Each structure stands twice: as C-alpha cells, then as structure tokens.
C-alpha cells in the first residue's frame, strides 16, 4: 500500500497549498473552415469547434471528481484566424470573433484563444485585417483572446507591426473603457510565440499541430513556496533541489490528467506546460517564492538571480515527469494575477524596468501590467519592442500584455476580477519614443554565434 | 481500478463501521486499512478495489462525501493513480 505520509502530503498540497491543474486546453485546427463567404466560414468554424469540444468540460469535471484534484479552467485554442479567414471577402474579422465567442459559450469553456496573426517578418492583407479588427473584437466578445507575434529570433522584429500594436492596445482600452479596459487583458503581443501553449491569453493552435490535441498547464507556486519554507537559510544547491523535486510532483499530476483527458476524449495528448502560474489568492504567488529565498520584497536587488534559479529548477524537475513537455514552460510573473507582485508594485519596489530584467530569465514577459491611461501609443510600442528584443536575442518567448488604464494614474488600481486579479498602475518613463517607433521597417535577425 | 479512501475527523465510535458499510453498499472491496490519530484527529486510509463498484466513480465520490458531511468527517475517494504518479518514479 502507498505510504500514509505520501497520501497526506498530496491532500495537503490540494487543500492548503493551492495545487491544481490550471488548464486543460483543446487545440483545434480550423484550416478546413476557410471559405470566401464570411457567413459560411463562420458557420463551419462554429460547427467544428462545438463538435470537437462538446465533451471537453464534462470530461474535465469527471476527472476532477475521480482524482480529487481541481481543474480550474477548460479552454480551447484554434488556428490563427488570420490564416483561416484569409480567403474571406470581407474587411473585418469581428464577425469571426463573435462566432468564436458563441462557440466557446456553447461548449462551456471560459476562454478561447486564436484570434491571432503571426507577422514576425511581414503582414499579409489578412494579417492587417485581423490586427485592425482586434479592438472591436475584444469589445464585442467575452471569451475571445487575441495574440500577435511581432518578432522571432530567425526573422527579427517587424517594427511596422509593433507600431500598429501600440495603437491597437490603446484603441482596445478605449473601446472597453467602461469595463476597466478589460479588453487589453485578452490581448498579447509575442516574440517567438509557441504553437502549443495551453495558457491564455496567448494560446493558439499552430499550423504544425495535429487536427485536434489536448495540452495541459499545471500550477503550483503555493506548493513550491511551502516546500521552500522547510529549507530556510540553506544554500542554493538545496533550494534548487527542493524546487526540482516539487516541480516533478506537480508535473506528474499534469501528465496523468492530460493522458486521461486525451484517452477519454479520443484526442491525442500534446504536451504538459511546466509553468508556475500564480493566482491572486494568498499563498499562490511566485513573488512570495522569491521572497522566501531571502529577499525582503520582490523587485529588490537579487530578484533576477532568484527567478533564474526558480525557472531553471522548475524545468529540470518537470522535464522528467512528463513524456512531452512544451508550451511556455517557465515561471510566470503576471503582476495583477500574483498577490505578492501586486504588493511589491504598490510599495514601489517592483518597477517596470526591473520586471523587464526579470523577463530575460523566465517565461514570459511583461504580463498584466497597468500603466497610466495617458501613456502614448508610441511608448506602448516601444515597451513591446524592448520586450521583443529580449526574446529575439535570447531565443526565448517574450510577451507584452499591458493595460493603459484610461482615466487613471500612478497609485490607482485596475480591477479585472477573477483569475485576472487587480493591477496597481505603474509608472512609465515620460520621455518620448515617438521618433523611434515612427521609423518602421524591420529590426534584422540577430547573429546566432559570437554570443557574449 | 483502485481508489484510496481518506477519512479525517474527530475520533468517535463507529467510523470504520459506517464507512465500510457504505462501501459495501456500493460493492466496493476494501483491500487494506491503516489508521492513526494525528494531532488529535482520527486519520484513516483505505485502499479499495472499485472495478466492481455499482455506480460511476464520480457518484461514489459524491455519496461518500455526503456520508462524511452527515458524520462531521471529511471522507474522500480518489483514484490511486494520482498518489502513485506523484510519489513513485
């Protein structure tokens, strides 16, 4: 029989340390839904999604009950709509976003991702239509998430798209102003986006993926934090080892649930995403893990090193626990979704520049950050460009999910509710980047040797 | 398929009897029992065979939980795989 201690430790993780499966995400290819007639295309999209994902929520709930582990989110990702809709004779893709929203509601999932375009080297006509449809699409839907990949290590950075995305973010904020600019929380700008990410808002179903696939994202900052409390004052070797062991356990859970879900749904199992995804709940924070390592407040000197260790140890522990690892795989540092990050930002210790440094060593990027409402589109574009440059040079995924809090300034708060949490408005540099962004063109891809 | 039943709560007369009687009602066979009192709490773990269970597992989970609520205990039924995969390589 199993060890009593092991059984109790698993129960303790679930009951007291917020261990859960963060998401089961079904990736669905919509490539066969293309049609020159917009309404036929929408109909095909709706039918395909509701057919493939009709049992997703039910199966998720059954697994939750049988294993006794919460599965917080059931979600869907689809082929980037700029590809699916390219043949449509229309100027706007808002109708397609509404169709995705309707399909998501029918299936009972809580987000659907893939209102996306991949434009790292340049934009097609369809990509521009999608990008320009984003603000209205975010305002007109509840569950649709949008993403645009503006750069990659192989292609460089598409600065025309970066410039446009600054304006798109601002416009999205304006159109969802009455809702605390919520639309911006559903819009991510990527560099080196991955095709099998199960996490929102950046999930989409890449063209290299199968017809339909199940990807799983685990969570467990609370479990890691708790484990580190038992090694206070000990050297970093012990810290790294403790994180690895904990990550192994968390990931095994994800692997088990993913395989079970894929078997029951009759859909191939894709990957487990080894990410530490925090929530706004007390005791489920990545910032508190860094502080447990000996930092008074997250954001002070030493934070980047602590995060580098954490991120690496999570991957090393997780990689052996799953037979397919993918997605973003790393520690997330979304400010509004992490109770410790919120506290550190409110105190003024965690600032945008430090967060940018932290994104060099972890997944994913400047995530869920509120900035003053009067921040210019050019400044937002420049923030996106900086983050994309980090991703491009370091051959990693980076992203920007930024909320210009219209009508608010530093010291105010944006409330998004639920898992999205609330974000204190953080200061940005007031000096202009206007002329830099106005140049347009492309930043060339970086050299991959002579690395120093 | 095996499931682990965990019972935690204030110790009193008849806990094992009530849990076993309920499991028998659902045709669940008990393979192993271990119990202890931890920090004043009665803690019991049972390994059970649920392949021949006469209701779906999700329903068994719910019915045992209801019994727990009536008795002022926490009673949980979980598939054994979750513990195996977490603690065994």
Q: What is the 3-state secondary structure (H, E, C) of chain B?
A: CEEEEEEEEECCCCHHHHHHHHHHHCCCEEEEEEEEEECCEEEEEEEEECCCCCCCHHHHHHHHHHHHHHHCEEEEEEECHHHHHHHCC
Nearest CA in chain B to A13: B86
Contacts of B80 in chain A (CB under 8 A): 2
Q: What's the confidence (pLDDT) of residue A18?
A: 84
Residue A226 CA from chain centroid, whole number: 24
Q: What's the confidence (pLDDT) of residue A12?
A: 86
Under DSSP, is residue A301 helix (H, G, I), strand (E, B) or coil?
coil
The tally of domains found in chain A comes to: 1
Dihedrals φ, ψ of A409, to 5°? -135, -175
Contacts of B61 in chain A (CB under 8 A): 65-66, 68
Q: What's the confidence (pLDDT) of residue A451?
A: 75
Q: What's the confidence (pLDDT) of residue A6?
A: 86
Q: How far is A253 from chain B (nearest CA, A)?
A: 6
Range of the domain at B12: 2-87
What dihedral angle (degrees, nearest 10) is formed by the CA atoms of A299, A305, A307, A312?
A: 170
- CA A214 – CA A199 distance, rounded (Å): 12
Contact: A66, B58; criterion CB under 8 Å: yes
Q: How many CB atoms lie within 10 A of CB B54?
A: 10
Report the DSSP pairing between strands B2-10 and B73-79: antiparallel
Contacts of B78 in chain A (CB under 8 A): 66-69
Q: What's the confidence (pLDDT) of residue A132?
A: 97
CATH, residue B39: 3.30.70.260
- Residue A273, in any domain of the structure: yes
- Residue A105, in any domain of the structure: no
> What does the pLDDT look like over A270-281, one tens digit per residue?
999 988 888 888
Of A4, A62, A256, the CB nearest to B45: A4
Closest by CA position to A98, among listed A86, A89, A85, A117: A85
Contact: A67, B76; criterion CB under 8 Å: no
- Residue A403, in any domain of the structure: yes
- CA A243 – CA A240 distance, rounded (Å): 5
The tally of domains found in chain B comes to: 1
Residue A297 near residue A347 (C-beta atoms within 8 A): yes
CA distances (Å), origin A137, targets A98, A99, A140, A157? 7, 11, 5, 25
A27 forms beta bridges with A77, A213
State yes or no: pLDDT of B79 exceeds 90. Answer: yes
Q: What's the confidence (pLDDT) of residue A1?
A: 58
Chain A residues near any Cβ of chain B (below 8 Å): 1-4, 6-11, 62, 65-69, 249, 252-253, 255-256
User: Is this complex's ipTM strictly greater than 0.90?
Assistant: no
- The radius of gyration of chain B's CA atoms, rounded to the nearest angstrom, is 13
Residue A183 near residue A239 (C-beta atoms within 8 A): no
Residue A98 near residue A138 (C-beta atoms within 8 A): no
Range of the domain at A281: 214-440
CATH, residue A252: 3.20.70.20
What dihedral angle (degrees, nearest 10) is formed by the CA atoms of A370, A373, A378, A379?
A: -50
> What does the pLDDT look like over B21-73, one tens digit per residue?
999 999 999 999 998 887 778 899 999 999 999 999 999 999 999 999 999 99
pTM of the model: 0.91
Q: What's the confidence (pLDDT) of residue B41?
A: 85
Token duo for residue A182: 């919520």
Contact: B87, A6; criterion CB under 8 Å: yes
Residue B18 near residue B67 (C-beta atoms within 8 A): yes
Nearest CA in chain B to A248: B86
- CA A426 – CA A379 distance, rounded (Å): 14
Hey, of B36, B80, B86, which one would you mutate to test binding to chain A, going by the most A CBs within 10 A of its CB? B86
Of A1, A9, A253, the CB nearest to B82: A253
Contact: A7, B79; criterion CB under 8 Å: no
pLDDT along chain A (452 residues), means of 10: 81 86 95 96 97 96 92 95 96 96 96 97 96 97 97 97 97 94 94 93 94 92 92 95 92 92 95 88 91 96 96 92 88 90 94 95 89 96 97 94 94 85 93 96 91 74
Contacts of B84 in chain A (CB under 8 A): 2
Contact: B83, A65; criterion CB under 8 Å: no
Q: How many CB atoms lie within 10 A of CB A174?
A: 15
- Residue A238, in any domain of the structure: yes
Hey, of B4, B87, B88, which one would you mutate to test binding to chain A, going by the most A CBs within 10 A of its CB? B87
């Amino acid at each position: 029989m199993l060890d009593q201690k092991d059984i109790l430790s698993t129960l303790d993780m679930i009951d007291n340390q917020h261990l859960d499966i963060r998401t089961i995400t079904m990736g669905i290819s919509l490539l066969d839904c293309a049609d020159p007639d917009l309404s036929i295309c929408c109909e095909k999209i709706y039918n395909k999604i509701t057919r493939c994902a009709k049992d997703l929520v039910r199966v998720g709930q059954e697994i939750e009950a049988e294993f006794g582990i919460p599965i917080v989110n059931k979600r869907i990702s689809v082929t980037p709509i700029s590809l699916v809709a390219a043949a449509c004779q229309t100027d706007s893709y808002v109708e397609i976003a509404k169709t995705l929203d309707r399909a998501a509601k029918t299936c009972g999932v809580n987000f659907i991702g893939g209102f996306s375009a991949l434009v790292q080297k340049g934009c097609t006509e369809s990509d521009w239509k999608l990008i320009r449809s984003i603000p209205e699409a975010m305002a007109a839907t509840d569950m649709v998430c949008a993403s645009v990949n503006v750069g990659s290590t192989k292609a460089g950075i598409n600065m025309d798209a970066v410039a446009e995305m600054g304006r798109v973010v601002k416009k999205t904020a304006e159109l969802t102003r009455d809702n605390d600019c919520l639309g911006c929380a559903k819009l991510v700008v990527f560099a080196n986006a991955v095709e099998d990410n199960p996490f929102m808002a950046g999930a989409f179903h890449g063209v290299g993926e199968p017809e339909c696939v199940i990807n799983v994202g685990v969570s467990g900052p609370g479990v890691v934090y708790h484990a580190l409390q038992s090694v206070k004052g000990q050297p970093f070797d012990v810290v790294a080892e403790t994180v690895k062991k904990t990550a192994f356990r968390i990931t095994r859970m994800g692997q088990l649930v993913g395989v079970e879900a894929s078997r029951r749904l009759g859909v191939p199992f894709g990957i487990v995403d080894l990410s530490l995804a925090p929530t706004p709940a007390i005791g489920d924070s990545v910032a508190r893990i860094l502080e447990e390592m000996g930092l008074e407040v997250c954001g002070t000197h030493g934070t980047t090193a602590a995060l580098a260790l954490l991120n690496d140890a999570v991957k090393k522990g997780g990689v052996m626990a799953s037979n397919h690892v993918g997605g973003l795989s790393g520690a997330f540092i979304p400010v509004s979704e992490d109770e410790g990050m919120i506290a550190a930002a409110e105190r003024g210790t965690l600032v945008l520049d430090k967060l940018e440094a932290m994104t060099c060593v972890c997944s994913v990027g400047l995530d869920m950050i509120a900035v003053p409402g009067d921040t210019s589109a050019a400044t937002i574009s420049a923030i996106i460009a900086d983050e994309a440059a980090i991703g491009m040079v370091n051959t990693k995924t980076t992203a920007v999910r930024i909320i210009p809090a219209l009508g608010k300034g530093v010291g105010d708060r944006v409330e998004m509710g639920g898992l999205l949490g609330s974000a204190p408005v953080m200061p940005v540099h007031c000096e202009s980047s206007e002329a830099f962004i106005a140049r347009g063109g492309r930043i060339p891809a970086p050299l991959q040797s002579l690395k120093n | 398929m095996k499931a682990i039943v965990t019972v935690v709560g204030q110790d009193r007369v008849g806990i094992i009897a009530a849990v076993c009687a309920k499991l028998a009602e659902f045709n669940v066979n008990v393979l192993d029992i271990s119990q202890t009192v931890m920090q004043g709490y009665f803690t019991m773990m049972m390994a059970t065979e649920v392949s021949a269970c006469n209701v779906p597992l999700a329903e068994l989970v719910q019915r045992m939980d209801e019994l727990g609520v009536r008795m002022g205990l926490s009673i949980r039924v979980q598939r054994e795989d979750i513990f195996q995969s977490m603690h065994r390589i």
